[in-house]
């Protein structure tokens, strides 16, 4: 699928579409601003999201990778990315889940995660992996609801004391 020709999925209150030019910049901006406000993560989070966004754009293959944008009346509500894992065979990585505060409670986070799962199954992936933080309780709850399991945690110290990185996996 050409990312310039959005695949749109209508749902009550929002539309999901694939990415267009400029969307990755918006994703970087919203992650940096939101996580600074909510978690105090500053430019470390922004730098990480820049790397993930650049990796997606540099390696984008419509047959194995996808970015979805959720919006309502052209207002950005959230996003998620699924990319081929370059290290593990037949594995995808779920990246950059974000739901704007104004859109929380609409079921958007679950819808974005489910969209990744559907695409991964259709593509033939055997597994999806993701990396998150222990303090992102709502996201962790959504991952568990979708069937992901926590497989490891790491006190990396990148985002402050008591913030642990976690690896979660979903076998398809």
Indicate the domain borders of the chain. Answer: 9-171
Whole-model pTM above 0.85?
yes
What pLDDT score does 44 carry? 84
DSSP string, 104-140: TTSSHHHHHHHHHHHHHHHHT-SEEEEEEETT-HHHH
Answer whether residue 7 shows pLDDT above 80: no
Answer whether residue 118 shows pLDDT above 90: yes
Answer whether residue 16 shows pLDDT above 90: yes
What pLDDT score does 1 carry? 40
Matching residue, tokens 């974000």: 98
* Contact indicator for 105, 142 with CB cutoff of 8 Å: no
Report the chain's terminal Cα–Cα distance, integer Å. Answer: 22
What pLDDT score does 24 carry? 97
Domain at 9-171, CATH homologous superfamily: Gcn5-related N-acetyltransferase (GNAT) (3.40.630.30)
| Predicted confidence (pLDDT) per residue in 18-60, tens digit | 999 999 999 999 999 998 898 888 888 899 899 999 999 999 9
Q: What angle do CA 57, 60, 61 make, to 5 degrees?
A: 170
| Predicted confidence (pLDDT) per residue in 123-170, tens digit | 999 999 999 988 888 999 999 999 999 999 987 666 666 678 899 999
Please give the residue that has the higher pLDDT: either 94 or 46. 94
Contacts of 143 (CB under 8 A, 6+ apart): 113, 130, 132, 168, 170
Q: Give the whole-angstrom CA distance, residue 27 versus residue 30.
A: 5
């Amino acid at each position: 699928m050409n990312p310039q020709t959005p695949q749109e999925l209508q749902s009550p209150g929002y539309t999901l579409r694939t990415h267009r030019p400029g969307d990755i910049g918006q994703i970087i901006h919203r992650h940096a601003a939101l996580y600074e406000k909510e978690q105090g993560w500053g430019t470390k989070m922004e730098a990480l999201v820049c790397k993930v966004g650049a990796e997606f754009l540099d390696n984008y293959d419509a047959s194995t990778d996808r970015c979805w944008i959720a919006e309502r009346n052209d207002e950005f509500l959230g996003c998620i990315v699924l990319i081929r894992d370059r290290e593990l065979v037949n594995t995808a990585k779920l990246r950059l889940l974000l739901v704007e505060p104004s859109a929380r409670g609409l079921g958007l986070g679950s819808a974005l995660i489910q969209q990744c799962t559907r695409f991964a199954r259709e593509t033939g992936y055997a597994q999806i992996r993701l990396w998150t933080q222990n303090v992102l309780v709502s996201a962790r709850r959504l991952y568990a609801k979708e069937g992901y399991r926590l497989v490891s945690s790491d006190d990396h110290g990148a985002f402050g004391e008591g913030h642990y990185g976690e690896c979660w996996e979903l076998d398809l």
